[in-house]
Amino acid sequence: MIKCTATLLLIILLNTVATAQPSGGSGNVELGLATGIASGWWIYTLGTGAGIDRTDNVPKISFEGVFVFKPHRFGIGAGLGYSFLTDNTMETFEDTRAQRQKYSIANKVVQFWTYYLLAEYDVYSDGRYSLSPQLKAGGFGIDTTHPQKANFKTQFLTELSALNKIDLSGGLSLTLRPFYQVMMISTKEDLLPGEKHRIFSLGLSFGVRYNI
């Protein structure tokens, strides 16, 4: 369902771009590439009141490409990304640390492939520097050996960030973006009421954008 919705919205976005008229002689389309590093952790809520399993709080590395249609202050777009969580075990919930055990959730790292739509708005711009709150929403694929993987259902992500952009010459810009991301995985059948998976990321993204 998420893939179908994202595809439909992307088609509408591309049709809007194709029929839009340039404003002020400048390009309305921006292409961007970025890489990021975040503090990430995966929390598996076993059920209401049943405790949680979790990974350690470890680095999460990401790469992404975006397409943004931005004729004025408001922009809409779409993006694709790849990221990995640098942990391959999850710790069980127990009453005492001595009782806790770890089990494998990946051979080396947990990998994610993301696809999303985004919206941003310039709340400040002085002609060279701009600040834009940005919201992303979409889905993702995951490469994991988690014991409950066969029970995974819907995979959805949301991300809130603040895009700082400095314009250089020739349509090129540098970007710095603090972000907070939540990936959520619902289950087909709850072993206990309230069972869910969440992957949290808090970090910084660095990149470039090119106005065409």
Helix (H) or strand (E) holding 8: helix 2-19
| Residue 103 pLDDT class (50, 70, 90 cuts) | very high
Distance from the first to the final alpha carbon of the chain: 32
Quickly count helices (H) and strands (E) in the chain. Answer: 1, 12
CA nearest 75: which of 137, 5, 127, 13? 13
| Residue 188 pLDDT class (50, 70, 90 cuts) | confident
Q: What is the pLDDT of residues 41-89, one digit of tens each?
A: 999 988 766 678 999 999 999 999 999 999 989 999 999 999 999 999 9
Residue 136 pLDDT greater than 90, yes or no: yes
97: helix, strand or coil:
helix
pTM for the predicted model, two decimal places: 0.84
Q: What is the pLDDT of residue 48?
A: 67
Q: How many CB atoms lie within 10 A of CB 77?
A: 23
Rounded-to-integer distance, Cα 2 and Cα 154, Å: 8
Helix/strand/coil percent split, the chain, to 5: 10, 60, 30
Rounded-to-integer distance, Cα 79 and Cα 132, Å: 17
Joined tokens for residue 31: 């292409």
Higher pLDDT, 24 or 7: 7
Q: What is the pLDDT of residue 97?
A: 59
Higher pLDDT, 141 or 19: 141
Domains of the chain: 2-13+29-38+60-90+106-191+200-211 (2.40.160.20)
